[in-house]
Structure 1
Amino acid sequence: MAGKFLLCFSALRLDKRSAAAKHPQDLALVAMDLVQIAGTEAGAKVGGALSPGGLAKRSNDTALTLRYCKLDYEALAQTVSVCRSMVQGYSPDVRGHHDDGQILLPYTYLECADRLMNAAHDCWDHIFHDDEMKKAVWKEVNEVAGRANLAKAMVEQMLGIVDDEDSSQS
């Protein structure tokens, strides 16, 4: 797991906006953009496997799994859009307020980050035990899951939530 996180943090560092970040909110936005990019790439790979002559011709079970993954990435795109909007409207100075004037509690941001992770991990869960699928789309699906974990971690940082594991190691 640590290796996956290091790869994700290196992806975050490669984005030029990360260097200009003044608050964890900025990094959360970059991380969500990275989730969106990875989700689009994974969705395209899944779509290619569903195309005529693709992986889907090999078995009905694999084709169904790919269709589920396609739905997972469609849900991911919508979830990223909602979460990104929430994070963009976050104000560290006025905790809990959103652009439209409604109060959003920290739990709301965490719930959105969890939904983002769930959308990313659903396809990962579907293909984890399918060797045929792993060969076809594992790299892309794993990348999305890792970046979703990173986005959640950045939302937690934005809210000032410290991981107990991290604080016990300091």
Structure 2
Amino acid sequence: MNSSPISTRRVYQPLRAVAALASAVLISLPLAACSDETRLVVQSESGDHAFTVEVVDTPETRAQGLMYRQELADDAGMLFDFQEERPVSFWMRNTFIPLDMLFIEADGTILNIHVNARPHDTTSIPSEGPVQFVLEIPGGRSDELGIAAGDTVEHPRITAAQ
């Protein structure tokens, strides 16, 4: 095997180019892309309420949602990002735990809340208008915490949508 400088240079030059390109892409990303997308805060009259969320933003991940999950911690949830404002509706097919659904406009304002959606219910649960986000949290938590329509939600995705 020949380990001359020429053959080594041929291998490492393309790697250096890839590393330089990757660095340029990372540097040019907006700050929100580097933020912690697992932390979401609901600001209500009763105070700030933090949740650890999973973000779902593709048709496949949104379709799966929280189906088949057997439990959800009191401070956990799932944030659905539809990429644009539009009317949306959900159902509880194959969902084993009751959920509250917070329908959120692009600016972070909660438009409406459906409390305690029943597991396995296929009845449509709609937003009351166009929304970009839906936050699902354990059933009854919005009432327990005093979260209501008109409250605001902070999250890197929501800030970016504004």
The TM-score range, normalised by the shorter chain, is under 0.3
Give the number of the structure with larger relative contact order, counting CA–CA contacts within 8 Å between residues 6 or more apart: 1
More strand by share: 2
TM-score under structure 2 length normalisation: 0.23
Q: Larger Cα Rg: Structure 1 or Structure 2?
A: 2
